[in-house]
Amino acid sequence: MKELFIDDLTKGKDSDAVEILAWVFDFRDLKKNKFILLRDSTGSIQGVIKKENLFEKFKEISLESVVKVRGTLKKANVKSKLVSIKDKEIEIEDFEIINKAQTLPIPIKDEIETSLAKRLDYRYLDVRKPRIKAIFKIQSAIVNAFREFFLNKKFIEIQPPGIIATATEGGTELFPVQYFEKKAYLAQSPQLYKQLMAISLEKVFCVMPVWRAEKHNTVRHLNESRQMDIEVAFTNDFDVMKLLEECCKYIVKKVKENCKEELAILDKKIEIPKAKYLSYKEAIELLNKEGIKIDYGEDLSNEAEKKLCNLFPNNIVFVHSWPLSLKPFYIMPKEKELSCGFDALYNGLEISSGGQRVHLADLLIERLKANKLKAENFKFYVDAFRYGAPMHSGWSIGLERFTMALLELSNIREACLFPRDRERLTP
């Protein structure tokens, strides 16, 4: 007999013979009947044991043991919140314990509280919880919607390197690696490489991990994260802000359509966001008016980002035309010491930054020097703009940040399978 997934049983009829492989999510030992709650990647169903010759074997079962169950499909009216298939159950004829689980180091039921640190120590078990699994199914939908959006627009997916010779954004916040006889770094960003492709391939995107050696320890930051990046030739900062707005709306729409069950498990209702555009100057004036003191030329604090999002609920809030001094060397200058750089805020978090890039070699050298960086260290990058480089723009969305913002999670580590921060390097 072919083994089935649990959701295959929704198509089954009464008295169908079935055989499944699953985990034991829960069990109850009553006098006349024994109940096993079975779970696989597709759902959960109740199994009932009525045969007394199986009662002794039932005593060997432990939570999260892997079992092979053979039985008959029956009508049922199951009220347990843990069961996804409530109108059917399996009357178990026989079962085999494939791998008996030892006592669990963390509980698998969502309603039992466990510290985040301990859950992360046993993440491979933690993801068996319906709530945690729901987060990562939604995250999978997010990244696939991002890819789908840009593939539909004829973008090319590229694979930039993760080991680089030069700091992408300057500064010293990089993880050094010994690369044979040379010193190299883990990439802070695919920035330089996606630009080098956009000036020839025109429309590119990538999804890749990045590493930042910043010594922070907050609920909003990781030292390794995943980025969803795009770069587009013949565009300015407002062109790609509009692309970001459209992309975010598309992602939320797809999650809303395709992750109804997961959103229900998380008790989360989401709506397709609108967009609000503010210049940096307008944002600063508005924040000061609202009692959050920020001087012109200062970065936005976490409090300021939350306030702007609260003022414009369910909006992607774009803050554009930043002072040039607050943006990286590769951002194109505007008049009056302004830049073509922007940030995007959503549900109180910065989810993206981007802008128009410098595409003129001489201006790029000037901007490197202004940022106290050695132009010779960026020779391969600067020289690329000497051979007919068009104007171009782009941005990056942090995957974990977007997941955190969309689901309004309290800690970014909830949106990362195996977080890497100052304290955590395992599992």
pLDDT tens per residue, range 291-328: 999 999 999 999 999 999 999 999 999 999 999 999 99
Task: Kindly name the residue from 89, 231, 305, 350 that is annotated as catalytic.
Answer: 350
d(CA 68, CA 95): 5
320: annotated active-site residue = no
pLDDT tens per residue, range 182-234: 999 999 999 999 999 999 999 999 999 999 999 888 999 999 999 999 999 99
> What residue type is 365 in one-letter code?
I
131: annotated active-site residue = no
221: annotated active-site residue = yes
Confidence at residue 216, expressed as pLDDT on a 0 to 100 scale: 86
Q: What is the DSSP letter of 425?
A: -
- The SS3 assignment for 64 reads coil
C-beta of residue 187 within 8 angstroms of C-beta of residue 167: no
In whole angstroms, how far apart are CA 231 and each of 33, 159, 273, 303, 351?
62, 13, 23, 30, 17
Burial class, 299, CB count within 10 angstroms (exposed 0-12 / middle 13-18 / buried 19+): exposed
Task: Kindly name the residue from 225, 353, 393, 396 that is annotated as catalytic.
Answer: 353
d(CA 80, CA 304): 44
216: annotated active-site residue = no
d(CA 221, CA 227): 13
214: annotated active-site residue = yes
Task: Kindly name the residue from 212, 357, 359, 367 that is annotated as catalytic.
Answer: 212
Q: What is the pLDDT along the chain (427 residues), one digit of tens a residue?
A: 567 899 999 888 988 999 999 999 999 999 899 999 999 999 999 999 999 999 999 999 999 999 999 999 999 988 888 898 999 999 999 999 999 999 999 999 877 789 999 999 999 999 999 999 999 999 999 999 999 999 999 999 999 999 998 766 665 589 999 999 999 999 999 999 999 999 999 999 999 999 999 988 899 999 999 999 999 999 999 999 999 999 999 999 999 999 999 999 999 999 999 999 999 999 999 999 999 999 999 999 999 999 999 999 999 999 999 999 999 999 999 988 999 999 999 999 999 999 999 999 999 999 999 999 999 989 999 999 999 999 999 999 999 999 999 999 999 999 999 999 999 999 9
- The closest of 124, 141, 418, 108 to 261, measured between CA atoms, is 141
Rounded mean pLDDT of the chain? 95
Confidence at residue 12, expressed as pLDDT on a 0 to 100 scale: 87
Task: Kindly name the residue from 93, 169, 214, 224 that is annotated as catalytic.
Answer: 214
Cβ neighbors of 128 (< 8 A, separation 6 or more) are 23, 39, 64, 108
> What residue type is 127 in one-letter code?
V
Confidence at residue 304, expressed as pLDDT on a 0 to 100 scale: 98
Facing residues of 47 across strands? Answer: 36, 90
Task: Kindly name the residue from 221, 285, 420, 424 that is annotated as catalytic.
Answer: 221
> What domains sit in the chain, N to C, each tagged with a CATH number?
6-99 (2.40.50.140), 123-415 (3.30.930.10)
Confidence at residue 1, expressed as pLDDT on a 0 to 100 scale: 55
Task: Kindly name the residue from 70, 147, 220, 424 that is annotated as catalytic.
Answer: 220
